[in-house]
Amino acid sequence: MSTTQHDRIILRDLATHVAEIADQPVMTERRDLWTRHNRLERVRPMILVFPEGAWRELLPQDVLVCEEKRARAMEWELRRRIYYDEHLYDDTVIEKEWIVNKVVTNTGWGLATSQIETSHDTGAWGFDPVIHTSDDLKKLSFPEVRYDEKTTMDSLDTVEDVFGDILDVKLKGVSHISFHLMAIYTRLRGLEQVMMDMIENPSMLHEAMAFLEEGYRRLTAQYQELNLLGLNNDSTYHSSGGVGYTDELPRPGFRTDHIRPWDMWASAESQEMDPVSPEMHEEFVMQYERRLLEPFGLTGYGCCDDLSKKFDSVFRIPNIRRISIAPWADVDVSAEWLRDRYIFSWKPRPTFLVGTFDEKAVHDYIRHTLEVTQGCVIEMILKDTHTCEHQPERFTRWTAISRDLVAEYS
């Protein structure tokens, strides 16, 4: 990537601002809090805010001033970090670094997915199955990993040239490890069809899950053989929320030149299985996920699915540490189960950010959860926020309300 002098000046100025933010003492304090929190020490309820789809309202493309496409992407990321410091006030740690991820791809599962598109820009798509019978499973193939070293090193050289003297530029391998068997298979088979298969054709569903388990196992093995894994005991996003800061990883026997799954966090989720019974969840996906997670040092589970009736199965995941508590899960029941043995990764309802922003309702809602989780190691992860009605200050107010309440329950 060639960088114009115009873009270079802008990026260096923004990187300098980010470095100044990262040097604030509060970042060291947050890093320490996350490390203690992740080892199951109740320091205080932790807060993370992920605007996700609403970023287009908080930081629209028209605020960018760089000219070249790649430079604009770098500018947006730098401005995103600055926005956290100026407006969100959660427990995000702004690091004095720039990560260049190794360009790692794979060949896929052998079948291209299809979907029914929506006419709305941000609308939902519909399933369009491409697997219709068990014979179609024979069309699947195991993914093969590809590492584009030239593109990776070109990117590394460019970033180091632009602001390597300001931010710590780091090359990192595959560091977010997460298994999504049902997400892959429902895209191929269709969600309704998978639900019906549990009753009418369970052997086909088991065959598919076994194939995906083996495919994921081979992917992990390839990452390790090609030395493409990267440590995630830092600011790396983990599971469906939370960050990886921990002094429990890497595990004893770690070698800096060859990272093992045992040195890393990993997670799995099957939110498509939210409506099924604990027994079906265990039979048709959990047993496969559990085996995939077994080689990893610390693990997490869940996303937007209510696990409050399935904790028996979740607790049997090897090295389980972080468990997602969905917006519609029973927090009272979940608190009784998790206590201080696992991270209570609570996902508050993002719907408070749309319609009328009712501060009292937000306050009362969060207070209830903090009240019943006083014996838990809890983190509040505001995510799945696809709009704030073009009122970015709602994120600031939500976080401020949470901060005030956290002070009461610390």
pLDDT of amino acid 104: 98
pLDDT digits (tens, 9 = 90+) for 378-407: 999 999 999 999 999 999 999 999 999 999
**359-372 and 331-338 are packed helices; what angle lies between their axes, rounded to 10 degrees?**
30
Q: Mean pLDDT, to the nearest integer, of 10-31?
A: 98
| pLDDT at residue 2 is higher than 80 | no
Q: Mean pLDDT, to the nearest integer, of 195-202?
A: 98
SS in 3 state form for 214-240? HHHHHHHHHHHHCCCECCCCCCCECCC
pTM of this prediction? 0.96
| pLDDT at residue 237 is higher than 70 | yes
Confidence of residue 53 (pLDDT cuts 50, 70, 90): very high
| pLDDT at residue 211 is higher than 80 | yes
pLDDT of amino acid 123: 86
- The candidate with the shortest Cα–Cα distance to 216, out of 240, 260, 262, 184, is 184
DSSP 97-117: EEEEE--EEE--SSS---EE-
Q: Mean pLDDT, to the nearest integer, of 160-179?
A: 97
Q: Mean pLDDT, to the nearest integer, of 162-168?
A: 97
Q: What is the mean pLDDT of the chain?
A: 97
- The candidate with the shortest Cα–Cα distance to 15, out of 25, 7, 4, is 7
Confidence of residue 119 (pLDDT cuts 50, 70, 90): confident
| pLDDT at residue 1 is higher than 80 | no
> Which amino acid is present at 313?
S
Q: Mean pLDDT, to the nearest integer, of 52-80?
A: 97
Percent of the chain with pLDDT over 70: 100
DSSP H or E stretch at residue 393: helix 393-408
Q: Mean pLDDT, to the nearest integer, of 164-175?
A: 98
3-state secondary structure of 121: coil
Q: Mean pLDDT, to the nearest integer, of 120-134?
A: 92
pLDDT digits (tens, 9 = 90+) for 104-118: 999 999 999 999 998
Q: Residue 200 and residue 204: Cα distance in Å, rounded?
A: 9
Beta pairing, strands 343-346 & 145-147: unpaired
Q: Mean pLDDT, to the nearest integer, of 361-366?
A: 98
pLDDT of amino acid 143: 98
| pLDDT at residue 55 is higher than 90 | yes
CB contact set of 69 (below 8 Å; sequence gap of 6+): none
* Cα-to-chain-centroid distance, residue 234: 13
Q: Is 43 exposed, middle or buried (0-12, 13-18, 19+ CB in 10 A)?
A: middle
Fold category of 5-408 in CATH: TIM Barrel (3.20.20)
**Out of 116-125, 278-287, 304-313, 399-408, least confident range:** 116-125
Ordered by start, the domain boundaries in the chain are 5-408
